[in-house]
Amino acid sequence: MRIGHRMDTIYKVGKVCLTNQAFSWRSHFGHNELDKIIHKSYLLPSGVINMRAKILTLGLICFFIFAYCESPASPDIEEIIVKPKANIVLDGILNGGYFGYDMWGFNGYVKNIGNGTGYNCMVDIACYSDETETTIIDNAHGFPADLGDIGPGIRAYFEAIAFEADSMGDITYTSVKITWLDRDY
């Protein structure tokens, strides 16, 4: 059996391993003469080869154990499942105008562009008299779908009254915030 080792090739003969030079002498002189000619420096005990095999086997066992062990930090299946969520946005233009009885306000539509159902939706419109948002006139609140369900792809109408505004000319800047809850089925 031939085993590679550094620059020399090692041959296993019985319980003794021989280098290139010792093996060629064995072939030339025969079995009995080998013990007389070979100097002990050419002999390797077979335990060296067995130790390498044991280390290699132990390394492979450790590799397979660590390769197939599950990490304790890996998430459970329930954590990976993505639950449907609503995503309600302003759909179209926010219109401002007179609503009668000296009330000024806004109307428009929201749309659910998510994959889940949203409910209890509120459109909060902050009305400012300047673009630096330092002087607030009022907050107008609209409730699309009367706080009911807004399914995926559905539009819902809302109206929001700014009770403290004397006219639409008082309102020079607005900011819109839409909040809702996701329906769990």
What lies within 8 Å, CB to CB, of 110 at 6+ separation is 88, 89, 90, 91, 121, 123, 144, 150, 155, 156, 158, 178
Place of tokens 């050419």: 42
Integer Cα distance of 146 and 155 in angstroms? 13
Give all domains of the chain, ordered by start, each with its CATH number: 2-68 (no CATH), 88-182 (2.60.40)
Q: How confident is the model at residue 71 (pLDDT cuts 50, 70, 90)?
A: low
Number of Cβ atoms within 10 Å of the Cβ of 9:
13
Q: Assess whether pLDDT exceeds 50 at residue 36.
A: no
Mean of the per-residue pLDDT values of the chain: 76
Place of tokens 């335990």: 47
Q: How confident is the model at residue 57 (pLDDT cuts 50, 70, 90)?
A: confident
Query: What's the pLDDT score for residue 48?
Result: 57
Could you write out the DSSP letters of every residue in 82-141? Answer: PPP---EEEEEEEEEEEEETTEEEEEEEEEE-SSS-EEEEEEEEEEESSTTS-SEEEEEE
Q: Is the pTM of this model over 0.75?
A: no
